[in-house]
Amino acid sequence: QSALTQPASVSGSPGLSITISCTGTSSDVGGYNYVSWYQQRPGTAPKLMIYDVSNRPSGVSNRFSGSKSGNTASLTISGLQAEDEADYYCNSFTSSNTWVFGGGTKLTVL
Amino acid sequence: EVQLVESGGGLEQPGGSLRLSCAISGFIFSSHGMSWVRQAPGKGLEWISYISPSGSTIYYADSVKGRFTISRDNARNSVSLQMNSLRAEDTAVYYCARRVPYYNYMDVWGRGTTVTVSS
């Protein structure tokens, strides 16, 4: 049950776009369309941003989008805003009927 | 309003035990699987356990298997995590999270309860 691989940090200027990658294996990310993404601000619980690779829950801005190719999933945030600054975690269902998270990516809005 | 409220955290010595609880309100608890997820200080999220809506199916991460036990009481709308043989590396904020029926993601999370294992 190794953690999915995410970059430790990414940054971008307001109004621009960033992409966070999440790399797993054929036993998790590559094997299922069950990748979700969570936003976590300091001292708060994670918030669901994307589920099933590319679906947005009600209330989540359409500036957030998800995709997947092979064993790598991606979260793209367009039109960056200061409020997007947070930690982001990917998550995948696995062939062991468990879940695994990525190590997390700290997004800094410059 | 959908709410998950964890309790039971605290300071415990290595080798000791703690029991965490998660009280549910605002939705039909018996329709949802539930997970526990933890976050060590300054670290990322770690999924540690899942229980199905009926309680008949349970999974654990290798890091807690044999030491932690998840259970639920659908009549009392609560899910618990019994933690035995605690280690320093179990120090974390523990969150309970709701699984969406027939999907494989967690949509609602509690605010967490803090467990500290130290002598």
The tens digit of pLDDT for each residue in B56-94 reads: 999 999 999 999 999 999 999 999 999 999 999 999 999
In chain B, which residue's Cα lies nearest the Cα of A87? Answer: B44
pLDDT tens column, A12-28 = 999 999 999 999 999 99
AA identity, residue B109:
W
Predicted local distance difference test score (pLDDT) of residue B87: 98
CB contact under 8 A, A99 and B50: yes
In chain B, which residue's Cα lies nearest the Cα of A53? Answer: B105
- Classify strands B113-117 and B10-12 as parallel, antiparallel or unpaired: parallel
Smallest CA–CA distance, residue A77 to chain B, in Å, is 20
Mutate to test the interface with B, among A53, A56, A91, A99 (most CBs of B within 10 A): A99
Q: Dump the DSSP string for A36-48.
A: EEEEE-TTS--EE
Q: What stretches of chain B show up as alpha helix (H) in DSSP?
A: none
B44: left (phi over 0), alpha (psi -120 to 50) or beta: beta
pLDDT tens column, A34-52 = 999 999 999 999 999 999 9
Smallest CA–CA distance, residue B14 to chain A, in Å, is 25
Predicted local distance difference test score (pLDDT) of residue B28: 95
Smallest CA–CA distance, residue A93 to chain B, in Å, is 6
**Minimal Cβ distance to A52: which of B37, B50, B103:** B103
Predicted local distance difference test score (pLDDT) of residue A2: 85
Confidence check: pLDDT of A1 > 80: no
pLDDT tens column, B8-57 = 999 999 999 999 999 999 999 999 999 999 999 999 999 999 999 999 99
CB contact under 8 A, B47 and A45: no
Predicted local distance difference test score (pLDDT) of residue B91: 98
**Minimal Cβ distance to B44: which of A34, A89, A97:** A89
Predicted local distance difference test score (pLDDT) of residue A66: 98
Contacts for B81-84: CB closer than 8 Å, 24+ residues apart: B81/B19, B81/B20, B81/B21, B81/B22, B81/B36, B81/B49, B82/B17, B82/B19, B83/B17, B83/B18, B83/B19, B83/B20, B83/B115, B84/B17
- Give percent of chain A with pLDDT exceeding 70: 100
**Minimal Cβ distance to A93: which of B44, B104, B109:** B104
